[in-house]
Amino acid sequence: MKKIGLMGGTFNPIHNINLIIGQIACEKFKLDQVWFMPCKQPPHKTEGDLVSEEDRKRMVQLAIDPYKHFSCSDFEFHLPGKSYTSRTLEALTETCSDCQFYFIMGGDSLRDFDKWHKPEKIAKLCHILACGRQGEDLKKLCQKWKDKYGARIDYFTIPESQISSSQIRKDLGDGLLPIGQVDDRVLTYIRMHGLYGTKPLVFDNDHATKKLYQMLSSSLRPKRYIHTLGVATTAASLAMAHGHSVQEAELSGLLHDCAKYLTNQEQINECIRLGVDLTSFEMENPALIHGKLGAVYARDRYGVDNPAILSAISYHTTGKANMTRLEKIVYIADYIEPNRTMETYPHSLVEVRAASFMDLDQAMIMILENTFDYLQKNNRPIDPLSRECYEFYKTRR
C-alpha cells in the first residue's frame, strides 16, 4: 500500500506554510507522496477574490515543482456535486485501491470535526493527520474523536508563522509583494496574470496581448510558461541594452518555445502534416525541431508575419552563421533568463549574463562553448548549424 498524504484547500494562493506542512507530514509519517488537491469553485457562492480553478491549479503546480514527493491533483474539480471531504475520500479510495490516505488538516478543522459532513465516514476512510501550532494541545481532541468515531488520528506541530492566504491577497491588492511567503514562480504567475488586484508586470495588456498570454499559458506546461516569460523579459532587456526594438524582442521571446508543449514525436508528426522539411539530423535529434515548428505556429496560430521574428524563433536552439541582432538576442535570452540554473560549465551563468549585455557576439561564443561541453558530456552530436555559428563568431574575433 502506498501512503498518500492529502492536502486540501482553496490554495488561493498556495503559500510557503502549505508547503512546510506537506513536508513535515511527509517526513514524520513516512508518506510516499503528498497530493495537493485544490478544491472546486463553489457553484453558487461568488467569493470576491477566489481566482479560477485553472489559476489555483497552476499556482500549486509551480510551487510544488521542486519537491519530488509532492504532486498536484485536480481530482475534486471533476467530481459531480458538492465537494465534501467524505465524498472525495470515497471516490479516491475507489479509484486508487492500492493507496492508504492520510488526510492532513489544521487544528481548527479538527476542533470542528463534528460539524463536517459525515465525520464517521471520513474516520473510516483515512488516517487523519492534524497539524497544530507549537503549544497547541491537540492530544485531548484527538482522543475525543478516536473515542467517538474510532478515528485514526495523529498530530504534529508546525513552526509559528503569520502567513495566511487572506493576508497575502490583501497585501497584493495594496501593492505589497509577499516575498518569502509565496514561491517566486507563483508570485510571477500572479503578477503576469494580474491576479488579486496586481498590475500586470510587463505591459499594458491590450486585447491581442492578453489573448496571446492566455494561449501560451493554457498550452505550455507551467514550468515552460514561466521560462517563456523569463525569456520575453530578458530579450526585452537585451533589446534595450543593444538598441533593438523592445516589442520585437519581447514577442519573439514569448513565442520562441510555443511548439514545445508537444512531445518529440508529436512535433515530427506536425512537421510532416504541415510540410515542414526536417533534416536527417533533426529527425535523429528531435529536441532541435521545436524552433522551426514554433516559427510556423507563430505565423499560423499567433498571426505573426514579421519575418525577422519568425527567423529568430526558428534558429533559437541552434544558432547559425551570421545571425541578425534579434536572432542573437533570442538565442542568448533563452540561455540566460532568470529561471535558468546551470551546473559547471566552462563559463558560469554570471559571466555569460554579464557578457550578454556588453557584447552579443562574445556571449554567443560562450554559450556555444557551454552547449558543446554539455552535448559532449551527454554523448550527443553537435548540430552543423551550431558548429558553423561557432566558427563564424570565433574567427571574427
Q: Which residues pair with 2 in a beta bridge?
A: 99
* Spatial separation of the C-alpha atoms in residues 5 and 10, rounded to whole Å: 17
* Spatial separation of the C-alpha atoms in residues 126 and 152, rounded to whole Å: 8
> In the range 238-267, which residues lie near Fe ion by CB under 5 A?
257
Select from 25-33, 154-162, 237-245, 374-382 the region that touches ligand DGI (CB under 6 A): 374-382
User: How many CA atoms within 13 Å lie on the side-chain side of 298?
Assistant: 26
Which of 383, 389, 390, 393 is the binder for ligand DGI (CB under 6 A)? 383
Report the 10 Å Cβ neighbour count for 150: 10
Q: Does 282 help bind ligand DGI (rule: CB under 6 A)?
A: no
Cell reading at 17: 506554510
* Spatial separation of the C-alpha atoms in residues 146 and 108, rounded to whole Å: 17
Q: How far is the CB of 162 from ligand DGI (least distance, A)?
A: 38
- Please work out the total of residues on this chain that contact ligand DGI, with binding judged by CB under 6 A: 17
Q: How far is the CB of 145 from ligand DGI (least distance, A)?
A: 50
Which of 234, 285, 314, 356 is the binder for ligand DGI (CB under 6 A)? 285
Cell reading at 352: 555569460
Residue with cell 459531480: 80
* Spatial separation of the C-alpha atoms in residues 54 and 57, rounded to whole Å: 5
Q: How far is the CB of 387 from ligand DGI (least distance, A)?
A: 8
Of the two residues 76 and 383, which places its CB atom closer to ligand DGI in the complex?
383
Q: Does 169 help bind ligand DGI (rule: CB under 6 A)?
A: no
Q: How far is the CB of 335 from Fe ion (least distance, A)?
A: 8
Select from 39-47, 86-94, 164-172, 310-318 the region that touches ligand DGI (CB under 6 A): 310-318
Calculate the CA 342 to chain-centre distance: 18
Select from 43-51, 56-64, 315-323, 352-360 the region that touches ligand DGI (CB under 6 A): 315-323
Q: Does 278 help bind ligand DGI (rule: CB under 6 A)?
A: no
Q: Are strands 152-158 and 2-9 parallel, antiparallel or unpaired?
A: unpaired
CA geometry: angle 162, 164, 169, nearest 5 deg: 125
Select from 1-9, 282-290, 292-300, 352-360 the region that touches ligand DGI (CB under 6 A): 282-290
Q: Which class for 176: exposed (0-12), middle (13-18), buried (19 or more C-beta within 10 A)?
A: exposed
Q: Does 382 help bind ligand DGI (rule: CB under 6 A)?
A: yes
Which of 35, 334, 367, 390 is the binder for Fe ion (CB under 5 A)? 334
Q: Does 282 help bind Fe ion (rule: CB under 5 A)?
A: no
Which of 71, 116, 375, 392 is the binder for ligand DGI (CB under 6 A)? 375
Report the 10 Å Cβ neighbour count for 142: 19
Which of 181, 371, 389, 393 is the binder for ligand DGI (CB under 6 A)? 371
Which of 76, 183, 248, 257 is the binder for ligand DGI (CB under 6 A)? 257
Cell reading at 254: 514569448
Q: Does 181 help bind ligand DGI (rule: CB under 6 A)?
A: no
Q: Does 183 help bind Fe ion (rule: CB under 5 A)?
A: no
Q: Which class for 340: exposed (0-12), middle (13-18), buried (19 or more C-beta within 10 A)?
A: middle
For residue 257, the SS3 value is coil
Cell reading at 167: 493576508
- Enumerate binding residues for ligand DGI (CB under 6 A): 227, 257, 260, 285, 287-288, 316-318, 334, 371, 375, 380-383, 386
- Enumerate binding residues for Fe ion (CB under 5 A): 257, 334
